Structure 1
Amino acid sequence: MAESLDPRLTPARPDIADIRLRGRVTAERFVAAAPRRVVAPAAPLRRAPSAEAGLDTEALLGDAVDLYAEQGGFAFVQLVRDGYVGYLPADCLGPAAPEPTHRVTAVRTFLYPEPDLKRPVRAHLSLGARLVVTGEAGAYFETPGGYVFARHCAPLAQHEPDYAATAERLAGIPYLWGGRTSLGLDCSGLVQLCLDAAGLPCPRDADMQERGLGRALPLALDGLRRGDFVFWRGHVGLMRDSETLIHANGHHMAVAAEPLAGAVARIRENSFGAVTGIRRL
């Protein structure tokens, strides 16, 4: 019998699977992944090869991707960042090289055709997008796709010291199921984007984060610190301070800060039930 694996993290279909899964899953053929990189500002990763399929997550410009198959304009891939498997639009992918050198640190910035703020923008770029900087032109970085205001970027090795501060900067961003850009975020996408800015690896979904982030604390709401994570079954937020939760949520339809006690009572009554875990990095 085939091994039970999380389908969200397992690059396998009945017709094709990662060669590293030989002996663990059943497939018609096994192939080695082809390295690719996201060349669009953002790319939706869906659970099926259709624009009508549900959005599971998003990949950002510069994200590394393992490609297994292409068909009908969609690519069957696994994201290198967190292992998530699904379908990206094939035209959002390009060669794996060159590797990015910088990342966007502003909540959102623009890509210009020339180093001139009066020019029509080519695209917007989210916090966390990766850039290949090839030169400088005054106040702008030159990249293969255009010019980006340099002070909105930082070298990849430079990280944010306080991931809770990043969450505070994202307050008001609309809620989007599967979103992990500054145009829209879900609860676990917010956590992942903030930890990524701090240079810390993070799984994609709330249940994965509850199992994999830091260390578990007792299920008590007193004694919490800035940066602690509070989990429900299917939801997560992080603490701004000992009494205030920041989370992307469907009640506010936005990233919002609110008293933890009020959030716990409302969530218990209306949606996800009781708190299931508290973790600290």
Structure 2
Amino acid sequence: MNILIVYAHPESRSLNGALKDFAVKHLEDAGHRVRVSDLYAMKWKAVLDADDSLDGQAGARFDPSLDSRRAFERGRQSRDIALEQGKLRWADAVILQFPLWWFSMPAILKGWVERVYAYGFAYGVGEHSDARWGDRYGEGTLAGKRAMLMVTTGGWESHYSPRGINGPMDDILFPIQHGILYYPGFDVLPPFLVYRTSRTDEARFSTLCDALGQRLDDLWRTAPIAFRPQNAGDYDIPGLTLRPDIAPDRSGFGAHLRPPVAGESAPDGDRAREK
């Protein structure tokens, strides 16, 4: 299989760097083809602006969507954007690896998403009508591919528990997993999480590698997070709210997860929500 790792950490000698190196070797030893977009090493331009089009602005003022659409349709995107889109087309699975900084991904990775996810490539695709609202949330140009987050944080696991001070990790990652990965069609696997990074010694690192190796071995066997598809009947269109009879007692992020079907086990990322 073809696997793309989009890696966002400025220090190659960090725990993230060591885990990335382990993942690449483990996957290659298993016979997979691996490519790494090391954003800091690439000196990735994080800012979306008019320079992303080789033809400059589409109108009198810069319009992010209009300019992105025109450049994508005409093959006039800047070369770095087109190369990353090519990697996404090539990949069967994508891993976004990053440290959790201020409750989100590093700015350089957010900038990768904003620039690479061009209009017509990752959004603005499909029919918009009273019957469906575009090919997104379970459909789209990246449907059929798998994606997983590898996230490290200095906080304790209890800090990110359902009653923890930082809020549940599932909720913190929801905008990334549901909004960035599921939106253009990825099947999103439960994340690989590392807490209390400063407490990692050689013994713990070995344990982490064992756990990560198992997750990588299971990339095509792990059940995806059961997000509800947008166009499968659970949502009223075009209002895009859940029908009154769907999860009537639930709201917030958890309402957009489908309960397990009888006899089906929920992936790890869903169990806390179904309790």
Determine if the TM-score, normalized by the shorter chain, exceeds 0.5: no
Higher relative contact order (CA 8 A, sep 6+): 2
Determine which structure has the larger strand proportion and give its number: 1
Quickly name the TM-score band, shorter chain normalised.
under 0.3
